[in-house]
Amino acid sequence: MRIIYGKWGIDFESPPYMSDRQRVAFISFMQRLLPNIKVVNIQEKKKLGPGGGESKHWTQNELELLLKTDDNDTLAKKLGRTEMSVKMERAERLPEFFAWAQRKGYVVPAVDVDREPLIKKFFEEREK
């Protein structure tokens, strides 16, 4: 539900979860507190990830971008993902990539343009 007072919505930091009886009592309390409120029933949005809903799978292209040198915030904006999801995925992928490069005797270049062929080899070998 959304509670509107005047032209503004009343925002709770987290949605309060309550039974039907609690909801009626809460609305009654809010109407006593703010006499001209309007209650609008809305469909709650599903959360992605562990909190609820489905996780967004990482594509091959996204995984390749994780191995480049963009900072987490820039990469999150490019990919339309949260910075935390980028950090978590990088924490798994970067050590794997660097360990693979070391095993193969490769030196990982610091520049993305020089790193791209190595990233391609890494993913080609992973698919085998």
Q: In this structure, are residues 2 and 16 in contact, taking their beta carbons and an 8 Å threshold?
A: no
Task: Compute the distance between CA of residue 67 and CA of residue 119 in angstroms, rounded to an integer.
Answer: 7
Contact 122, 97 (CB under 8 A): yes
Q: Report the SS3 class of residue 101.
A: helix
List of residues 6+ apart from 54 with CB closer than 8 A: 48
- The domain ranges of the chain are 2-40, 60-127
| pLDDT for the residue 46 | 59
Determine the pLDDT at residue 102: 92
pLDDT at residue 21, rounded to an integer: 93
Report the chain (128 residues): mean pLDDT per 10 consecutive residues. Answer: 67 73 89 82 63 69 87 91 90 91 90 85 84
Positive or negative, the CA dihedral 68, 74, 78, 79 is positive
